[in-house]
Copies of this chain bind each other. A is one copy, B any other.
Amino acid sequence: MSQFSFSVLAKDGAARTGVIRTPRGEIRTPAFMPVGTAGTVKAMLPGTVHDLGADIVLGNTYHLMLRPGAERVARLGGLHKFMNWPHPILTDSGGYQVMSLSQLRKLDEQGVTFQSHIDGASHLLTPERSIEVQLLLGSDIIMVLDECTPFPASFEQAEKSMQLSMRWAARSKTAFAGAQAAEKGHALFGIVQGGVYPELRQRSVRALCDIGFHGYAVGGLAVGEGQENMLATLDVTVPHLPAEQPRYLMGVGKPSDIVGAVLRGIDMFDCVLPTRSGRTGQAFTSEGVLNMRNACHAEDLRPLDARLECSASRDYSRAYIHHLVKSKEILASMLLTWHNLAYYQNLMQRIRAAIQNGDLSDLAKNFRSESVD
């Protein structure tokens, strides 16, 4: 019997708000998962990440399997203990980063062989090994290994790629079941592929539902297709996903992407944007994205956003943050990452409240006018 469950508490059109229950705690949805690539949400203390309202973070299997290594993390008591984050963790399969970061990749039916970007060592990632690694890490929500179909791709390319991902999804489920992972409290999510082709997306959904997962992710988006194509793909995909299980849009996105996807029934998101932007001097605010390197902030005594209940957003002037960015101070990355995550978590809180109140369309309308992202 799985210890993983999802309850929808309220709906507003296609959007829903609810709670995912895991042995390590509850996840309020729609949820934004900060990315903790190498066992740390960069420039953040884990306690601060949780205080902002993040119920779950994402870990990258590719990075962790290469350094410090999954077996080592297991010997040290698992990823939660390692990174001092006792709350839920979702791990990706490693496939996306293998294709984007490693060298000398060779993908075939078995899996993908690649060289580490750290030390050049050769590795083989198969659906079975990805499940094994994620279980060694102790992940609460495990993703199947898939091939992220590039954009653009022809129908034939997207079809072939999607079919491979579906065969890998079946092997992943077998490996997960063989490890009795559900009984140990882990959950497994399948990933819909199929590019921007409605027919392929729907065939992929059917293939995954036949296998059966605890949740369903939409993959292969936010890879250059643009917001319009992304939302159009959700329009033809999400309605076919099971209503009673969580839906996760991988690697998304800008605040307006998130609002658009929630309107279409997505429950979970992850994206490096708030954290990575924080390290390059960008601040998400209700006025849009501010480039804190810009000289216009040099004598601006206003805080980043006094509306947010976050010290980084309220207790430091834009002038000071501009100075820190110009001076390449670590505190610039710390304060901007903290603020950006506060902005994102506040957005998720507003979205959840709006769905509860049945006025998500008002939030979306106001959001489009307030944001210039």
Contact = CB atoms under 8 A, between A and B. Distances in A.
A301 interface: yes
B82 A319 contact: yes
Interface string A27-59: 000000000001110111101000000000000
Query: What size tier do the contact residues of chain A reach?
Result: 35 or more
Given A68-B323, A324-B40, A301 B77 contact: yes
Contacts of A83: 320
A75 B40 CA distance: 38
Contacts of A331: 40, 42-45
Contact of A72 (B43, B76, B299, B316): B299
A317 interface: yes
State the number of copies, please: 2
Interface string A301-313: 1000000000100
A334 B317 CA distance: 22
Interface in A55-93: 67-68, 72, 75-77, 82-84
Contacts of A301: 76-77
Contact of A317 (B82, B299, B317, B323): B82
A329 B40 contact: yes
Nearest to A43: B330
A359 interface: no
A354 interface: no
Nearest to A47: B311
Most buried by B among A47, A82, A327: A327
Contact of A84 (B38, B279, B316, B323): B316
Interface string A259-296: 00000000000000000000100000000000000000
A218 to B, nearest CB: 30
Interface of A: 38-40, 42-45, 47, 67-68, 72, 75-77, 82-84, 279, 298-299, 301, 311, 315-317, 319-320, 323-324, 326-327, 329-331, 333-334
